[in-house]
Structure 1
Amino acid sequence: MKLGWIHGGTLAASLDGDTWRDVTAILAELPAPSIDDGHVDWLISHLPRVREAVARAIDGAPKLTVNDATAWLSPVRRPGKIVGIPVNYQDHVDEVEQARQTFTNRYTGSIRQQGFFLKASSSLVGPSEGIAIRFPERETHHELELAVVIGQRADRVRPEDAAGYIAGYCIGLDMVVRGPEDRSMRKSLDSYSVLGPWLTTADQIADPGSLFMWLDVNGSRRQSCYPRDMIMGIAEQIAWISESCTLWPGDVIMTGTSSGVSRVVPGDRILCSIEGLGSMQVDVRAA
């Protein structure tokens, strides 16, 4: 199933990947949010019930026209946390080493030595909302990533069990302003976490490592890779993160980027795609 939010509060669902329906009415079947839901995404936390309700309602739900003009919001509305994995492709490690003036010497060592980092949940937007450059005098770079959305509470998970905790996958843009500060600061600017265009549930993706990913800026190819080339795979990431902090429904893991990261400026248009997950256009503007 593919599930996403469209501007205006419409919940859209597709069971075949082509025909989209307005299933907003099923939200009335879910328990009302409570004060105890503060660190989970309400929809993702009820995903099994959502899937059952969509299956019952979708044939009679209004059809939606989905095209390049559709204003997709983030499929996760309120993640408890967004977790980033640093330097997770060897070609990006090499790229960093060759451009220390840009990337600085602050971060060296293996992924585990550097540690995962957190991005402010307030940085999250959907593709239709675009990226707002807050510090135009500094370089902002795009980083295309496979985003993993957690579907259930995960505490000290074993790698061999990790797949069972995944709700689904999205395209992720982990934007960053370059400089000497901690990653969490430079990656937490408003609009610097773009997620979309929708959530593809985990059962639809047999092998996430085989999904071809690419990103263009103004029609020019900048990044392309397969997640199978990650240094630390998805299962190990979930196990590693959950050793330190519990993952909750709706938490997002940005799994790392490949080489080809480069500067974007207001007026640029980013187009990115991951096989099986869709494509999204993201416009860059001044804040």
Structure 2
Amino acid sequence: MKLVRFGPAGSEKPGIVDGDGTIRDLSSIVDDLTGDALSPAGLERLRGVDPASLPAAPSGARLGPCVPMPYNFLAIGLNYADHAAETGSPIPAEPILFNKAPTSISGPNDDIVLLKDSVKTDWEVELAFVIGTECFNVPADKALDHVAGYCLCNDVSERFWQTESTGQWVKGKSAPTYGPVGPWLVTADEIADPQNLAMHLDVNGKRMQTGSTTTMIFGVIELIAYASRFMKLLPGDIVTTGTPPGVGLGMKPPVFLKAGDVVELSMEGLGEQRQKVVAP
């Protein structure tokens, strides 16, 4: 299933994409795509619904983030060897965990609003996964049982605040609109192998990133087993898994986003995003 949320920011309704690509309103079935709705039983209930029996969403409705604001928006740093190399960083011996503020979440086509005094805002196309059941001290062989589905994420990053201003990554990753997710939450049963998905990202029509999850250092299974040693992940939590090479920081000379730029990204099976960059 491809699950969505549509409508004005803060008032989104849950939806499902039917076989013709029409968004159908699920709000008579579930209040939102959170909690029990993301559990195996909740998703099985949604599979039993005939989309044709549901009203269509208004034509041209805004797409919101594919899940509502999570408790945790966890991210993985330097998870592609060639991306680590382009930033001048060593390949990590174990996953690098950091947080994006949950309030950074935004819709897949919402504007990226630059931070005040931003000087080095960058892009990162990433595979993200959404937790479906409570997850703590999970062994690797049970890890995927806790995944509700997968989505596309742009891990927008202000590099100066991330690495040069006392080096706290969360500061450069957490501004409102710096976490577009969606358009869809694609349930795990529709993604045969999350470690074999092609992706790319363009800025103003120029290809910047081309990659595949085949080159991730730590795959989804390893990330769940590792992260759940240190924290409890809850239904609806988002984990975004790192980016391939081609970020602005790695260009020679570096290139960063400015007002008026347009960022477009896509991933195999997970849809597309398009964001316009605007001044604060």
Give the shorter-chain TM-score range.
0.7 to 0.9
Count of residue pairs the alignment pairs up = 265
**1:22, 1:147 → 2: CA distance?**
24
Which structure 1 residue ranges, 5 or more long, are not aligned?
A: 31-39, 98-106
**What letter is aligned with 1:24?**
S
Structure 2 partner of 1:212: 198
Please give the root-mean-square deviation of Cα atoms over the aligned residues, in Å: 2.2
Q: 1:5 to 1:138 in 2, by over 3 A?
A: same
TM-score normalised over the length of structure 2: 0.87
- Equivalent of 2:98, from 99, 117, 121? 117
- Equivalent of 1:150, from 105, 120, 131? 131
- Equivalent of 1:12, from 12, 15, 31? 15
**What letter is aligned with 2:19?**
D
Is 1:52 the counterpart of 2:38? The answer is: no
Is 1:22 the counterpart of 2:25? The answer is: yes
Is 1:90 the counterpart of 2:93? The answer is: no
| SS at structure 1 position matched to 2:48 | helix
Deviations 1:193-217 (A, max 9, x none): 1101110000000011221111111
Any conservation in 2 of the 1:86–1:116 contact (CA below 8 Å)? yes
**What letter is aligned with 1:202?**
A
Any conservation in 2 of the 1:210–1:228 contact (CA below 8 Å)? yes
Shift of 1:56: 2.6
Structure 1 partner of 2:142: 161
Structure 2 partner of 1:283: 276
Any conservation in 2 of the 1:210–1:226 contact (CA below 8 Å)? yes
Structure 2 partner of 1:230: 216
| SS at structure 2 position matched to 1:122 | helix
Structure 1 partner of 2:243: 257
- Equivalent of 2:112, from 128, 131, 152? 131
Shift of 1:54: 5.6
Any conservation in 2 of the 1:26–1:50 contact (CA below 8 Å)? no
Which structure 2 residue ranges, 5 or more long, are not aligned?
A: 249-255
Any conservation in 2 of the 1:87–1:111 contact (CA below 8 Å)? no
Tell me which moved more, 158-167 or 56-65.
Answer: 56-65
**What letter is aligned with 2:274?**
Q
**1:80, 1:6 → 2: CA distance?**
20
Structure 2 partner of 1:270: 263
Shift of 1:129: 2.4
**What letter is aligned with 2:3?**
L
TM-score normalised over the length of structure 1: 0.85
Any conservation in 2 of the 1:41–1:78 contact (CA below 8 Å)? no
**1:12, 1:137 → 2: CA distance?**
35
**What letter is aligned with 1:215?**
L
**What letter is aligned with 1:2?**
K
| Structure with higher helix content | 1
**What letter is aligned with 1:233?**
G
**1:46, 1:160 → 2: CA distance?**
18
